[in-house]
Amino acid sequence: MNIKIKIGTLADIVTIGAQIPEFDRVTTLERLKARLDGADHLILVAKIEDAIVGYKVGYQLSDETFYSWIGGVIPTHRNHGIATLLLKHQEHWAIEAGFKKIKVKSMNRYPHMLKMLISNGYKIVCVEGGADTEERKIVFSKPLGDKCE
Protein backbone atom coordinates (compact mmCIF):
# COMPACT_ATOMS: atom_id res chain seq x y z
CA MET A 1 0.00 0.00 0.00
CA ASN A 2 1.53 3.31 -1.10
CA ILE A 3 0.46 5.94 1.47
CA LYS A 4 1.42 9.55 0.83
CA ILE A 5 1.14 12.30 3.42
CA LYS A 6 0.37 15.71 1.92
CA ILE A 7 -0.71 19.16 3.02
CA GLY A 8 -4.51 19.30 2.90
CA THR A 9 -7.20 21.96 2.77
CA LEU A 10 -10.20 22.76 4.93
CA ALA A 11 -12.43 21.39 2.16
CA ASP A 12 -10.51 18.09 2.28
CA ILE A 13 -11.19 17.83 6.01
CA VAL A 14 -14.91 18.50 5.63
CA THR A 15 -15.15 15.79 2.97
CA ILE A 16 -13.18 13.12 4.84
CA GLY A 17 -14.63 14.07 8.23
CA ALA A 18 -18.07 13.05 6.99
CA GLN A 19 -16.69 9.52 6.52
CA ILE A 20 -15.46 9.13 10.13
CA PRO A 21 -18.39 7.54 12.00
CA GLU A 22 -17.08 8.15 15.53
CA PHE A 23 -17.41 11.90 15.30
CA ASP A 24 -20.74 12.86 16.76
CA ARG A 25 -20.52 16.44 15.49
CA VAL A 26 -20.28 17.21 11.82
CA THR A 27 -16.94 18.81 10.96
CA THR A 28 -18.09 21.94 9.20
CA LEU A 29 -16.07 24.50 7.30
CA GLU A 30 -17.26 27.16 9.76
CA ARG A 31 -16.10 25.15 12.79
CA LEU A 32 -12.69 24.52 11.22
CA LYS A 33 -12.22 28.17 10.24
CA ALA A 34 -13.24 29.39 13.71
CA ARG A 35 -10.72 27.10 15.42
CA LEU A 36 -7.82 27.73 13.05
CA ASP A 37 -8.34 31.44 12.29
CA GLY A 38 -5.25 33.43 13.21
CA ALA A 39 -3.25 30.47 14.50
CA ASP A 40 -0.30 28.78 12.85
CA HIS A 41 -1.76 25.44 11.83
CA LEU A 42 -1.11 22.27 9.90
CA ILE A 43 -3.58 20.23 7.88
CA LEU A 44 -2.29 16.83 6.80
CA VAL A 45 -4.06 14.26 4.65
CA ALA A 46 -3.13 10.68 3.93
CA LYS A 47 -3.69 9.59 0.34
CA ILE A 48 -3.74 6.22 -1.34
CA GLU A 49 -3.58 6.86 -5.06
CA ASP A 50 -5.72 10.00 -5.32
CA ALA A 51 -8.17 9.15 -2.52
CA ILE A 52 -7.91 10.82 0.88
CA VAL A 53 -8.19 8.11 3.53
CA GLY A 54 -7.22 10.00 6.68
CA TYR A 55 -6.29 13.37 8.11
CA LYS A 56 -4.76 15.18 11.09
CA VAL A 57 -5.24 18.84 11.99
CA GLY A 58 -3.40 20.83 14.62
CA TYR A 59 -2.58 24.39 15.56
CA GLN A 60 -0.37 26.56 17.73
CA LEU A 61 -1.46 26.95 21.35
CA SER A 62 1.56 28.99 22.42
CA ASP A 63 5.11 29.73 21.28
CA GLU A 64 6.19 26.32 22.61
CA THR A 65 3.07 24.14 22.35
CA PHE A 66 1.36 22.67 19.29
CA TYR A 67 -2.12 21.19 19.78
CA SER A 68 -3.03 18.09 17.79
CA TRP A 69 -6.74 18.83 17.52
CA ILE A 70 -8.63 16.42 15.29
CA GLY A 71 -7.99 13.54 12.95
CA GLY A 72 -9.14 10.16 11.79
CA VAL A 73 -8.90 7.40 9.24
CA ILE A 74 -11.89 6.08 7.33
CA PRO A 75 -12.88 2.61 8.60
CA THR A 76 -11.97 0.72 5.41
CA HIS A 77 -8.33 1.87 5.73
CA ARG A 78 -7.72 1.37 9.44
CA ASN A 79 -5.10 -0.92 10.97
CA HIS A 80 -2.51 -0.09 8.31
CA GLY A 81 -0.51 2.44 10.36
CA ILE A 82 -2.01 5.50 8.64
CA ALA A 83 -2.85 7.33 11.89
CA THR A 84 0.66 6.72 13.22
CA LEU A 85 2.17 7.95 9.96
CA LEU A 86 0.11 11.15 10.18
CA LEU A 87 1.15 11.56 13.83
CA LYS A 88 4.85 11.20 12.97
CA HIS A 89 4.58 13.72 10.11
CA GLN A 90 2.84 16.16 12.43
CA GLU A 91 5.55 15.74 15.07
CA HIS A 92 8.31 16.29 12.51
CA TRP A 93 6.61 19.43 11.22
CA ALA A 94 6.13 20.76 14.77
CA ILE A 95 9.83 20.21 15.57
CA GLU A 96 10.86 22.00 12.37
CA ALA A 97 8.48 24.86 13.28
CA GLY A 98 10.22 25.26 16.64
CA PHE A 99 7.61 23.82 18.99
CA LYS A 100 8.86 22.17 22.18
CA LYS A 101 5.85 19.93 22.89
CA ILE A 102 2.62 18.57 21.49
CA LYS A 103 -0.60 18.41 23.46
CA VAL A 104 -3.56 16.23 22.48
CA LYS A 105 -6.86 15.18 24.06
CA SER A 106 -8.77 11.96 23.61
CA MET A 107 -11.47 9.98 25.43
CA ASN A 108 -11.93 6.50 26.83
CA ARG A 109 -14.37 5.78 24.02
CA TYR A 110 -11.43 5.89 21.57
CA PRO A 111 -9.20 3.07 22.91
CA HIS A 112 -7.21 2.72 19.67
CA MET A 113 -6.25 6.40 19.84
CA LEU A 114 -5.24 6.05 23.50
CA LYS A 115 -3.04 3.05 22.69
CA MET A 116 -1.44 4.82 19.73
CA LEU A 117 -0.61 7.90 21.78
CA ILE A 118 0.91 5.91 24.65
CA SER A 119 2.91 3.68 22.30
CA ASN A 120 4.33 6.81 20.63
CA GLY A 121 5.62 8.41 23.81
CA TYR A 122 2.68 10.59 24.84
CA LYS A 123 2.08 10.84 28.59
CA ILE A 124 -1.19 11.51 30.40
CA VAL A 125 -0.94 14.87 32.15
CA CYS A 126 -4.53 15.28 33.39
CA VAL A 127 -8.16 14.28 32.93
CA GLU A 128 -10.96 16.79 32.28
CA GLY A 129 -14.67 16.26 32.58
CA GLY A 130 -17.50 14.96 34.67
CA ALA A 131 -19.00 11.71 35.87
CA ASP A 132 -19.33 9.90 32.51
CA THR A 133 -16.02 8.05 32.11
CA GLU A 134 -16.52 7.62 28.36
CA GLU A 135 -16.78 11.37 27.83
CA ARG A 136 -13.92 12.53 30.05
CA LYS A 137 -11.09 14.11 28.11
CA ILE A 138 -7.69 12.58 28.73
CA VAL A 139 -4.97 15.15 28.12
CA PHE A 140 -1.63 13.92 26.77
CA SER A 141 1.64 15.74 26.20
CA LYS A 142 4.88 14.82 24.50
CA PRO A 143 8.15 16.78 24.50
CA LEU A 144 9.60 17.31 21.03
CA GLY A 145 13.16 17.27 19.82
CA ASP A 146 14.53 15.04 22.57
CA LYS A 147 17.42 13.17 20.97
CA CYS A 148 17.06 10.31 23.47
CA GLU A 149 13.65 9.18 22.22
If one compares 40 and 145, the residue with the highest pLDDT of the two is: 40
As for how many domains the chain has, the answer is: 1
Contacts of 132 (CB under 8 A, 6+ apart): none
Range of the structural domain that residue 83 is part of: 3-143
% of the chain at pLDDT higher than 90 = 72
Q: What is the pLDDT of residues 6-38, one digit of tens each?
A: 999 999 999 898 888 887 666 788 889 999 998
The rounded mean pLDDT for the chain is 91
Residue 9 lies in a domain: yes
Residue 148 lies in a domain: no
Kindly report the CATH number assigned to the domain that includes residue 90: 3.40.630.30
pLDDT score of 24 = 60
Q: What is the pLDDT of residues 71-94, one digit of tens each?
A: 999 999 999 999 999 999 999 999
Residue 62 has pLDDT above 70, yes or no: yes
Q: Predicted confidence band at 5 (pLDDT cuts at 50, 70, 90)? A: very high
Residue 149 lies in a domain: no
